[in-house]
Structures are given as structure tokens and as C-alpha cells.
Structure 1
Amino acid sequence: HLSSLGGRSGMFVVNELLIAKGRSLDKITQAQTLKSYALLSLDLGKLAASQYLIEMVLAQALSEQPQEELYDLLNQHLQQLEELPRLDSWSVLRHLTQAIFHFLTLSGMTPEVQVCCLTGRALIPDFNESKSQVGFSVPAGGTLSLAAWQQNPEVVLSRRLNAIELAILQQLSLPQLEVFTTDQYNPSWLRVEQILRSYTQYHFERPIRSAALIDSYFDLLISTNHDATV
């Protein structure tokens, strides 16, 4: 921390800075705090999710180039994360998953989730068939029909999705999540986040280091819940 900045250099603090150009290093001469998301640091799930999103922003940020949409989207999602009930871990996961999708969309790397990448035919979740599945290919850019994939074995199949996971992916572009937000769908949300994480890391060509904290946090949460019900 820079002592002259005090609390303005803390985590999740949004500042407006006056920067003086130097020969080798620039110098911050003035800072005004615009917004602080202090409550994010008080909840481990929110902290991990916020760091995850900031890593995505850093992967998209251009040096010395204004990116107002990226800035606004980050503030929007940090605000929404902060407003979630404290210790409501699964709501944090659902919000994180949708936020990942929104940042991918802003970057121009939206995964295809409505149609098969190979045939262009619509993919509709089949809730009447328990074994109904589609595929997801990170290199190919999204969802695909397993029948089409079998005819194109050179395409990498990254993951198989059941009907619920496909339906979750297909609603992530909505402004607000409307369905699949009850406890029975929590494992599906974990798998969808992991799919989008793999997609993000592949196309941004860098790891999301905060994802390890997300994994540890939810592994512990699931283990604790399991022990409590045994």
C-alpha cells in the first residue's frame, strides 16, 4: 500500500486517479474514492468470486485504453455480489456463473449454447429423458449434438451436459436468473461454472488463479453439509 493513499488502496475500492507522467514511472498525485465494496471481504465466497471476476477483467483490459463497458459491468456485478445475503454461498456461485458468461459476451467470446456448433440445429433440453445429453467443446466454441460429434470425431469433446446443465447455460444471457436457483440444482451450477472456467482459460490463454479458492470453498461446503446429514 502507498501510505499517502491510505484506505483508498484497499481491496475492491474504486478510485478516480490523477496521474503524472514520469520518465520511467508514473506517479499518482491525487486520488478520490468513488465506490468501495468493503463487505465483499467479509464473506469468503464473495471474496473468491470477486477476485475471479477481477482476473477476467484484467485479461480483457487494454493498457491506457478506456473501456467504459468493461468498467460498468465489473461495478454492476460487484454491487450485486455485495448485496447478496451473507453466507448464501450457492447464490454467490449462481451469480458468479452468470457474470462469467456476461464478461465472455462483452469480450466477443460468447460460447454457443443454443445450437449445435457443428450443425447449427437448435438444442432443446429434454427433461423427460433422464439420460438425455449434449456435448460441449471448448475448442469448437460451445455446445454440440452428440450424434453430430460422433460423425466428427476430430472435434474435441470437453464435457457432456445433462438437460439441467444445458438449460442453465441457455438462461445465462438473461439479465436476471429466473429458474434453476433452488438447492436441488446446486451441483449442476458447479459443473456449469467449471465448463465456463475451462472455456475462459482456453480462449483468454491464461489461468484463473482465484478458481482454486472457489474449488476449495465449495468442496468444504459440500463436505460439511454431507457430514451434517449423515
Structure 2
Amino acid sequence: MPKEYRATGINLKGMPLGENDRLLTILTKEHGLIRAIAAGARKHRSSMAGRSGLFVVNDLQISVGRSMERIKNAEVLQSFVGLGKTLAKLTAAQYLSELALMQALSAQPQEELFLLLVEHLDRIQTAEDRHVLACLNHGIYHLLAIAGFAPQVHNCCITQVPVIAKRGVQKWKAGFSMVGGGVVDLDYLDSDNSSDLGSGIGISDIGSGGNPHQGDRLDNNQERGEGLMLESIYNRISHYLTASELMAIQELAQTDLADNILEIPPKDWLAVERLLRAYAQYHFDRPIQSSALIDNCFFNI
């Protein structure tokens, strides 16, 4: 890498360094994740103070030092001042930045991740307060998708049968399996069709050997095998979704959320967030620190 280079990046983390400087963690389009010193950023009236703020997008000129890179110049391209207007918006933004940091790579282009994060931060910034939670879930799903972990939400992850939310059926629910990677059609598993799941066990291929009672024993063994298979499937279900929650999570793959989806009650979006949070932590194998404030921020919306 040359002694100096240019990059477009968004500040995702910052910490004090010495008396006057800040050490920034920046997601850049061209070079991925970098850590650079913003010299003098903590000085009163420093021109770098605003440019080193959280969620500020800069056109950067970076100087490569022996042990640490330094920001030689920074010009603000975009700032998300609206994110600081409410704790809910700030928490949602920090949540998405954590997910971006979990998957961002260094020393290689990360343009798709950069653009996706900036897009969803802007949506959160401009969203009405009652829609912030829906926008957060939208961003979580898309960041999981770009990491290759998008959950399967339209077809059952076990049977591949389409799962349709039945809003008119009281107490209707669908399952969700972390291990399976998606929704589980409980209606199908509880129906007579569930016997099809045991067709691959292979018990029926065993010959009776001329014993007149052997066939009965094989039938009993097959039924027992199918029962154990269903029990194993049910044991893998980690969450249950109501019809409204399933509708919400199925719409998250869309580029934009329709108005009727945005108006799904906050309690349903909270349930979806908890599911996606657990799913993200399962795949990234680390906790999402910002999620600790979610319940407090959105409980009374």
C-alpha cells in the first residue's frame, strides 16, 4: 500500500487516544475496515471534532505510518444528525453498526456492505418514531443476507412447503429453527403428511424373511422412527411466530417495506427483533451489545 491513499468511509467507533486525539474504526468502500488516528479531534474547536463523530461519512486522505494510520484530511460527505434526536434511533443505528463490524473485512473493498449500512441508517434517521423498530428489523435482515445468513422465511426449512400466515385462525403459530435456518410449518408436521418425512428411514426395505409377524414389527418400527424424527424436529424449534409476526419477517427481504407492514404493531416487531437477534448471535457467535437497550427504547411505543 502507498504511503498515502484516499477512501470514502463512515465512522463506526471512536475512542480517546492521548490528550487530544481519537482512534477511529472506519468502514471504507475501497479498503474495508481501517483504524486511523484523528489527530487533534478532541481539541476545543478542532476542525476534526465534527468529522470524527459517530456515523459521519468522510472523503478521507489517509497517511500510512509505521504502526498506525492517520487521517491527513477529511471532508464531510454525509452526516446522520437525525440519529441523535431520540435514543431509539441512536440505539437502532448502533445495533446495525455492530452487525456491520461483525462481518466487515480489512484490506479489501467492502462497497456493498458500506452502501447497505448507509442506506439503512438513512431510513432510520428519517423514519417516524413508531416505524423505527420496523426499519431496524429491515436493516438486520439485509445485513444478515449480505453476510450469507439470511433465514429462510417463506418455505419451511424442513419440508420446503410454503408457510402461509393464517391470520383468521385463532392461536395459529409457525415455528423457527436456529439450526435449520428458518421457519417451520407446524401445520404440515401436525398433519397426516408428516408421515412423508419418514419415507427415507429405509425400514420398509428390510425383507420379512418368511416370518408372518415380521411385517407387523417393521410397521411398528417405522412408526416409532417417524415419531422420533418428529420429536427431533420439534426439539430444534427455538421460537414460535404468530401470524402477524410471520407476515412481518416474510416482508423483510423486500427492498422497501409497504405502509401496511410498517404499521404492524410494535409488540410483533419486538418479537421479530428478538428472533433475529438470537439468530445473528448464533451465526456470528458473539453478543450484540446494543440490543440490551431495545426493550427499554421501544416498550412504550
If the TM-score is normalised by the length of the shorter chain, which range does it land in? 0.7 to 0.9
The whole-number CA distance in structure 2 between the counterparts of 1:214 and 1:162 is 20
- Number of the residue aligned with 1:20: 63
- Number of the residue aligned with 1:81: 124
Q: Deviation at 1:34?
A: 1.2
Structure 1's unaligned 5+ residue stretches are: 223-230
The whole-number CA distance in structure 2 between the counterparts of 1:67 and 1:162 is 36
Where do 4+ consecutive residues of structure 1 move more than 3 Å?
Answer: none
Q: Taking structure 2 as the reference length, what is the TM-score of the superposition?
A: 0.68
- Structure 1 residues 34 and 101, CA gap change in structure 2 (3 angstroms): same
- Number of the residue aligned with 2:163: 123
**1:186 and 2:266 are equivalent in the alignment:** yes
Q: Deviation at 1:32?
A: 1.6
- Number of the residue aligned with 2:40: 3
SS at match of 2:295: helix
Q: Deviation at 1:60?
A: 1.2
Q: Deviations over 1:69-94 (max 9, x none)?
A: 11111111111111123xx1x30001
Q: Deviation at 1:6?
A: 2.0
- Number of the residue aligned with 2:295: 215
SS at match of 2:131: helix
The whole-number CA distance in structure 2 between the counterparts of 1:186 and 1:168 is 11
The whole-number CA distance in structure 1 between the counterparts of 2:58 and 2:253 is 29
Letter in 1 for 2:272: V
The aligned length equals: 217
- Number of the residue aligned with 1:225: none
- Number of the residue aligned with 1:134: 174
The whole-number CA distance in structure 2 between the counterparts of 1:59 and 1:137 is 22
Q: Deviation at 1:101?
A: 0.7
**1:103 and 2:146 are equivalent in the alignment:** no
**1:153 and 2:209 are equivalent in the alignment:** no
The whole-number CA distance in structure 2 between the counterparts of 1:104 and 1:12 is 20
Structure 2's unaligned 5+ residue stretches are: 1-21, 23-38, 42-47, 195-227
Moved more, 154-163 or 102-111: 154-163
Identity of aligned residues (%): 42
Letter in 1 for 2:87: L
SS at match of 1:165: helix
The whole-number CA distance in structure 2 between the counterparts of 1:181 and 1:82 is 15
Q: Deviation at 1:16?
A: 2.2
The whole-number CA distance in structure 2 between the counterparts of 1:128 and 1:63 is 49
- Number of the residue aligned with 1:227: none
SS at match of 2:262: coil
The whole-number CA distance in structure 2 between the counterparts of 1:117 and 1:132 is 18
Q: How well do the aligned residues superpose, as a CA RMSD in angstroms?
A: 1.8
The whole-number CA distance in structure 2 between the counterparts of 1:186 and 1:25 is 44
Q: Taking structure 1 as the reference length, what is the TM-score of the superposition?
A: 0.88
- Structure showing greater Rg: 2
